[in-house]
């Protein structure tokens, strides 16, 4: 993420061998910028009034990032001959 963009949250996946530290080459991060978050909140605020099922744009944004992170984590988990720990962390800023 660029230093000029403020972050709202990130999901970080790490993996490696116990005992030891995560292997840096396996670490991946999925960022949610403050701008993405604000845009999703603004879309939520513009929801039509009654009679229409509202869309949770913030929830969708988070689900998209979480889905990508979990898919990567599962890919690593299914390689127990190479890695014996996988972590998924939410980071809020």
Q: Is residue 1 part of a domain?
A: no
pTM here?
A: 0.78
Give the residue from 6, 9, 17 showing the smallest Cα distance to 69: 9
pLDDT < 70 positions in the chain: 1-5, 49, 51-52
Q: In this predicted structure, what is the pLDDT of residue 65?
A: 93
Q: Which strands make up the sheet holding 28-33, listed edge to edge?
A: 28-33, 7-16, 85-92
57, part of any domain: yes
Helices (H), the chain: 34-45, 57-77
- 85 domain residue, yes or no: yes
Its domain, for residue 59, covers: 7-92
**What whole-number distance in Å separates Cα of residue 83 and Cα of residue 87?**
11
| Residue 61 counted as domain residue | yes
Q: What's the domain count of the chain?
A: 1
């Amino acid at each position: 993420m660029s230093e000029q963009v403020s972050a709202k949250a990130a999901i970080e996946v790490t993996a490696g061998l116990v005992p030891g530290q995560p292997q840096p080459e396996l670490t991946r991060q999925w960022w949610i910028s403050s701008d993405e978050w604000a845009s999703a909140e603004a879309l939520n605020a513009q929801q039509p009034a009654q009679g229409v099922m509202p869309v949770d744009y913030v929830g969708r944004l988070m689900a998209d990032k979480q889905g990508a992170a979990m898919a990567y984590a599962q890919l690593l988990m299914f390689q127990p001959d190479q890695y014996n720990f996988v972590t998924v962390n939410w980071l809020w800023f």
